[in-house]
Structure 1
Amino acid sequence: MKLRSLLDMPELRLELVTGAEELDRVIRWVVTTDLLDPGRYLGGRELVLTGLVWRSGPADSEVFVRALAKAGVSGLAAWDLARGTIPDDLVEACARHRIPLFKVPEDVAFATVTEEVVRHLSGARAADLTAVLDRHRRLVAGHGTGAGLAAVLDLVGRDLGMRCWVLTPTGRVVAGPEPPPAGTALARAFLTAPRLPHRHAGTTIFPVAEDTTSRVADWFLACEGDAAEWPPERRALTTELAAIVALERARLDDRLSAEGRLAQELVRLLVTGAPADETTARLELIGLDTSAAFVAVAASSRGTGRGALRPGELRAVLTEAMPVPRPVVGLLDDEAIALVQIDDPGRDIADEIGRTLDALAPGFAEGGLTVGVSDVVAPAELRGAVEEARYARRLAAGRTAPVCVVRHDELATHVLLLASVPDDVRHMFKVRLLDPLRTYDDVHNADLIRTLETFLQHSGSWTRCAEQLHLHVNSVRYRIQRIEDLTGRDLSRLEDRVDFFLALHLT
C-alpha cells in the first residue's frame, strides 16, 4: 500500500500538509507514538501517528522528525488536540527531512486510522495471493491454447500494475510489454551480480533456473520496482513466474523434437563423411533451402568443473548466439556444431557471432567459450565447412580471452596440414619436443611452456615477450636459454621455431 492511498480513504479525511513528491512510498505498518525519540521502536516503512505530547518547544520537532527519517518511516500523520493545529516548526522539519506529513481531523481517532490502514494492508496482501493462485489457473488454461509467455506477463501487468520482461543473457527480450527495457545493461547486471535477486535501474532481476543452469545459459526475469519493498505474496508470485518461464524455455528446446533429432543426425553424418546427397536430403527434411549458402560454426566450453558448460548449456548458448532464428545445432561429445543458412554470402557471420558472445564474457568468471567459423559454402561442401570450423575452434582454444571466435581466414595452412597427420605421429612429435619442458616446469615451477608460447607469439621479440610476461628481459633470456638446453634446439633458427610452434598447436 502506498501513501497516496491514504488520500483516497473518505472515512479518514486525511489532508496532505507537505511531501507531495514522496507519496509513492510504501506503508508496511502503522505505529502510534508520543515519544520524543521513538527510533528504537521503528523498523522502517511505517506510517507514524502522533498527538504531539512529546513537543515542549519548537526545537523538539527537529529531534522527533530526525529520528523518524533515520528509522526510514514512510510518513507522519499528526494533530495537536490541545492547540487545535499543527505547529509550523513540525511542518518545516518534515519538509527538511522529506517526511510526508498528513493532518488528521480532530474528530477522527488514531485508532480509526490504524484500523482502516491495517485493513487495507491485509486486503492488498490477500488480493496478491489470490492473484497468484488465479493467475496460475489461467496460465494452465492459456498454455493449452498456446498463449505463451506474452499472455502471462500481460496478466501480471494488467492485474498488479507490475511490468515484467523475460530476457536472455545476451540482452534479447523474449517476452514482455512495450517499450522493451535496456536489455544489454540488464543482461550485464544479471551476469555480474554477486547474488540474485538483484536491483538495477528501477527493476529487480530474478534468475529462472539458478540452481540448475549456468547464468550464461539461463533466462532471467526483470520486474519493475524494488523487491525489497514487496509483501511476501508478491515475492511468491515471482517464484511462480520464474517456474513458468523455465517450463516455457524447456518447451521451446527442440532437442527432443523431430527437427532437433534430424539436426543431430545431420551433424553426425557430416562429421562421419556421409555422401553429399544423403546430407542434402536431411537439409530438405529440416526445411532448409538446398540451393542457399551455409556457414558452419563449432563451439566448445573452456575450463573444468564449475567453470565448464554442460553439453545442453553449450548448445543453448550457441543457439542464442546464432544470427538467424532456428539454426541447425547438434552435439558431438563436448563440442556443439551449428549450420547457418544465409541469404547474403557477403555477410560477416563471424563478426555477428563475436559481438553477441562478447555480451556473455562477463558471465564467465571461470572457463569461457571457444568458437570457430567456416567460410561460406554450398550444401555439397558442408562436410569441409564443418571440419574447417572445428579446426578454427581448436585454434581459438590456444588463446586466452574468455570468449574467443576464430574465423576461417585466420586458419594457417599448418592447421590443415597437421589435421591430415596420423594421431600417433602427432602425439610422438609433441611428446619428444615438449615433454622435457613440461617435466622441468612440474619440478621447478619455471613456466617455460608459457614463456615459449609468448616468445613465439611475439615473433621472437625479447622486449615484447618480457612486457607480456611482466618480467625483466634478462629473465626471458635465461628461460629461453634453459629451453634450448633442455631440448637441444636453437630458437634463433627459423626451423626450430617452426617445430616448437607446430608442437604447441597440436591437439
Structure 2
Amino acid sequence: AAEHLAATRAGRRAPHRVAVAGSTYSVFPVRAGARTPQAVGVSREVRETVLSDWLLVVEADAGDWAEERLDLLYGVTQLIAVERDRRDAARTVRRRLAQEVLELVQTGAAPAEIAARLRVAAPVLLPGLGAAPHWQVVVARVEWEDGTAETGPVAQSLLEEILVDPHATGPEHSDRIAVAHTGDEAVALVPLPAVSTEHDGSETGVLADALLESVREPLSAGLDGDGRVTLGVSAAVHSAEGLRGA
C-alpha cells in the first residue's frame, strides 16, 4: 500500500510493481471507469482519494503482460469498484445519523436531545443489542500545505477505511461505524457494547497506539511530505453528556 501511494503521488502510471520478500507483486487501483492504464489517475485531484484507495494486488510482474491480460485485470477491478459503490451507498444512513449527532453537539443541544438521537443510531449500528451502547469518538483531520484541497470528505473516507478491522468476523464490521465531516475534520461514532458477551476485546474499542501503528507507513507515503493527518481517539463515553467533552 505504501509503495502504491508513493507511486500515485509521483504520477507514475499503474499498475505499480513492488518486490516483497523475494516475490514481485503488481498493484492495480480499484476505481470506477479505470479499464485501461491510461484511464487510471487522470481527470481527478489525486489527493481527494489517494488516502482511501482500494487496491487489487496480484503476485506477478505485470510489466510484460499483453494488453488482453491487462484488460482482464482491469475488468476485475471494475467488479470490485461496483462492490465499493454498493458499500458507499449503504453508508448514507449512517453518515446522516453521525452528522445529526455532530451538529447537535456542536450547537450545544440539550443532553436529552442528543441522547434521543443516539437511541435512534444504536439499533442501526449495533442491531439486536439489548442495552444502550457506550460510544467512542475518533477524529481525523487532513491538511495539505497549499490548503487548496477540500479535506473534510477526504478525512471521512479515510476513517471509514482505517477503522475497519480486516480480521473481524461476523456481520460487516464497517456497518458499525458512522462518520460525519465538517470543515477539514471527520468525526466517527463507534458504538461499543456496554457489556461484551463475546470476550473478543470489542468492549475496549479503538486503541490509539494500535491504530497509528497500522496506518503510519502507508499514510506517510500518501502524504508525500506535503500533507498531515492528525488522529484523535476518545475514551469510552457512557452518556450524551460525556459525548460533548469527548
Shared fold per TM-score greater than 0.5: yes
- Cα distance between partner residues in 2 of 1:255 and 1:333: 23
Which residue does the alignment assign to 2:190? Answer: 340
Which of 172, 177, 184 lines up with 1:327 in the alignment?
A: 177
Please say if 1:355 is aligned against 2:213.
yes
Q: Which amino acid aligns with 2:229?
A: L
Cα deviation code 1:102-142 (max 9, x no counterpart): xxxxxxxxxxxxxxxxxxxxxxxxxxxxxxxxxxxxxxxxx
Q: Which amino acid aligns with 2:192?
A: I
Which residue does the alignment assign to 1:371? Answer: 231
Which residue does the alignment assign to 1:313? Answer: 154
8 Å CA contact 2:3–2:221 kept in 1: the answer is no
- Cα distance between partner residues in 2 of 1:371 and 1:219: 21
Q: Spell out structure 1 runs of 4+ moving beyond 4 A.
A: 304-309, 343-348
8 Å CA contact 1:208–1:218 kept in 2: the answer is yes
Which residue does the alignment assign to 1:161? Answer: none
- Cα distance between partner residues in 2 of 1:310 and 1:228: 34
Deviation at 1:345, TM superposition (A): 5.9
Q: Between Structure 1 and Structure 2, which shows a larger proportion of helix residues?
A: 1
- For residues 368 and 254 of structure 1, do their structure 2 counterparts lie closer, same or farther at Cα, with a shift above 3 Å needed? farther
- Cα distance between partner residues in 2 of 1:357 and 1:342: 22
Q: Tell me the SS of whatever aligns to 2:237.
A: coil
- For residues 241 and 305 of structure 1, do their structure 2 counterparts lie closer, same or farther at Cα, with a shift above 3 Å needed? farther
Which residue does the alignment assign to 2:169? Answer: none
- For residues 250 and 311 of structure 1, do their structure 2 counterparts lie closer, same or farther at Cα, with a shift above 3 Å needed? farther
Deviation at 1:256, TM superposition (A): 6.3
Equivalent residue runs for 1:267-286 within 5 Å: 267-286=102-121
8 Å CA contact 1:268–1:332 kept in 2: the answer is no
When normalised by structure 1's length, the TM-score is: 0.36
Which of 76, 79, 84 lines up with 1:249 in the alignment?
A: 84
8 Å CA contact 2:205–2:236 kept in 1: the answer is no
Which residue does the alignment assign to 1:298? Answer: 139
- Cα distance between partner residues in 2 of 1:322 and 1:239: 27
Q: Tell me the SS of whatever aligns to 1:377.
A: coil
- Cα distance between partner residues in 2 of 1:282 and 1:381: 13
- Cα distance between partner residues in 2 of 1:368 and 1:339: 22
Q: Which amino acid aligns with 1:381?
A: E
8 Å CA contact 1:291–1:379 kept in 2: the answer is no
Please say if 1:203 is aligned against 2:43.
no
8 Å CA contact 1:294–1:376 kept in 2: the answer is yes
8 Å CA contact 1:263–1:329 kept in 2: the answer is yes
Deviation at 1:255, TM superposition (A): 7.4
- Cα distance between partner residues in 1 of 2:147 and 2:77: 23
8 Å CA contact 2:137–2:233 kept in 1: the answer is yes
When normalised by structure 2's length, the TM-score is: 0.69
8 Å CA contact 1:271–1:383 kept in 2: the answer is no
Q: Which amino acid aligns with 1:247?
A: V
- For residues 217 and 323 of structure 1, do their structure 2 counterparts lie closer, same or farther at Cα, with a shift above 3 Å needed? closer
Deviation at 1:375, TM superposition (A): 2.6
- Cα distance between partner residues in 2 of 1:328 and 1:245: 22
Q: Which amino acid aligns with 1:190?
A: H
* Identity fraction in percent: 32
Q: Which amino acid aligns with 1:301?
A: V
8 Å CA contact 2:119–2:132 kept in 1: the answer is no
- For residues 382 and 247 of structure 1, do their structure 2 counterparts lie closer, same or farther at Cα, with a shift above 3 Å needed? farther
Deviation at 1:216, TM superposition (A): 1.5
Largest Rg, 1 or 2: 1
My pick for the range that moved more, 293-302 or 280-289, is 280-289
Q: Which amino acid aligns with 1:330?
A: A
- Cα distance between partner residues in 1 of 2:73 and 2:203: 44
Cα deviation code 1:141-191 (max 9, x no counterpart): xxxxxxxxxxxxxxxxxxxxxxxxxxxxxxxxxxxxxxxxxxxxxx22222
Equivalent residue runs for 1:470-481 within 5 Å: none
Unaligned segments of structure 2, at least 5 residues: 32-40, 166-172, 194-201
Which residue does the alignment assign to 1:168? Answer: none
Q: Between Structure 1 and Structure 2, which shows a larger proportion of strand residues?
A: 2
- Cα distance between partner residues in 2 of 1:347 and 1:282: 21
Which residue does the alignment assign to 2:3? Answer: 189
Q: Tell me the SS of whatever aligns to 1:370.
A: strand
- Cα distance between partner residues in 2 of 1:221 and 1:250: 16
8 Å CA contact 1:315–1:331 kept in 2: the answer is yes
Please say if 1:223 is aligned against 2:58.
yes
Deviation at 1:384, TM superposition (A): 2.3
Q: Which has the higher contact order (CA 8 A, sep 6+)?
A: 2
Which residue does the alignment assign to 1:70? Answer: none
Number of aligned residue pairs: give it: 200
Which of 234, 239, 256 lines up with 2:69 in the alignment?
A: 234
8 Å CA contact 2:237–2:243 kept in 1: the answer is no
Q: Tell me the SS of whatever aligns to 2:51.
A: helix
